[in-house]
Structure 1
Amino acid sequence: MGRHRNCPARSVTRMGIALTYCFIAVDDHEKALAFYRDAVGLEVRNDVGYEGMRWVTVAAPGQDAQIVLEPPGMDPDASPADRETIADLMAKGLMRGVVFTVDDCDATFERIRASGAEVLQEPMDQPYGVRDCAFRDPAGNLVRFNQQPNP
């Protein structure tokens, strides 16, 4: 499509941008650490308590993007009913999670399964080109592991 004739041409300046944090609700930080740190292999970057709450930040070694494991319903505008709804969704396993890229899906699967994590999908080749597997973390969040096809 061409440019609308009443709109002047604009140049787009590229800006540096990178993902820094994403947030996952967890209801038990110790169980979450056993999964994300011990089974998955992420490192703890920060562990902060404030007014009876706790936020733990984890990340893959050598990467900047971090996952904040936070108490459910931490949005300051969330009502008590909102927090209850979030807790209900977590209990049903309906919260979204994260997708990791790994070098070896099968080895990752075996390591995490050996930790006792809930398996949702054993490793399989997907029609869209990746081999992947899936687990639920202890709070019910979906966690997938993708292996890109060999070039």
Structure 2
Amino acid sequence: MSQGVGVAGLYVRDQDEAADFYVEKLGFRVHTDARNGDYRWLTVQHPDQPSVQLGLFKPQPPTVDEATAQTLNEIVAKGAMPPLILVVDDCRAAYERFRARGVEFTQEPIERFGNVDANFRDPSGNGWKMIEAR
């Protein structure tokens, strides 16, 4: 039997906007896009890591009530969720490539602690730290 994390979820404000960002700007690909009424299960995956999916989930009923959905959207928009980490071979090159595609960085690449890293946010406010692989 195989076990492990298969999907890590993010709350996003707009699933179409999120899919466009992750696919067109970061180079992920859509893995699953399924609907059940108003509920949409949308996952993407990095082409170099096909065993893990990133769920782009809209906080909404039936998973949470309307008041909780509004609170979650506000928290995400403020950038209050823990950042995700994107490991790249060359942080400065990835920074230039992503910036050319319209990714807005909150920190350009800097060298510290023996690594090079940069920060950006997705359209919903989720923070990402991009770290150069050692």
TM-score (normalizing by structure 2): 0.86
Residue 119 (structure 2) aligns with: 134
Residue 18 (1) aligns with residue 4 (2): yes
Tell me if the contact between 2:12 and 2:73 (Cα under 8 Å) persists in the aligned partners. Answer: no
Q: CA deviation at 1:16?
A: 5.9
Query: Which residue of the other structure, out of 54, 68, 73, is the alignment partner of 2:55?
Result: 68
- Counterpart mapping for 1:1-150 below 5 A: 17-63=3-49, 64-72=51-59, 76=63, 78-127=64-113, 129-149=114-134
Flag structure 2 segments of 5+ consecutive residues without an equivalent. none
Q: Which has the higher strand share?
A: 2
Secondary structure in 2 aligned to 1:131? Answer: strand
Q: CA deviation at 1:90?
A: 2.1
Secondary structure in 2 aligned to 1:117? Answer: coil
Flag structure 1 segments of 5+ consecutive residues without an equivalent. 1-14
Greater radius of gyration (CA): 1
Partners of 2:84 and 2:30 in 1: how far apart?
17
Partners of 2:66 and 2:10 in 1: how far apart?
19
4+ aligned runs moved over 6 Å, structure 1: none
Tell me if the contact between 2:106 and 2:120 (Cα under 8 Å) persists in the aligned partners. Answer: yes
Tell me if the contact between 2:43 and 2:55 (Cα under 8 Å) persists in the aligned partners. Answer: yes
Tell me if the contact between 1:41 and 1:60 (Cα under 8 Å) persists in the aligned partners. Answer: yes
State the aligned residue count.
133
Q: Which has the higher contact order (CA 8 A, sep 6+)?
A: 2
Q: CA deviation at 1:118?
A: 2.2
For residue 138 of structure 1, what is the amino acid of its counterpart? P
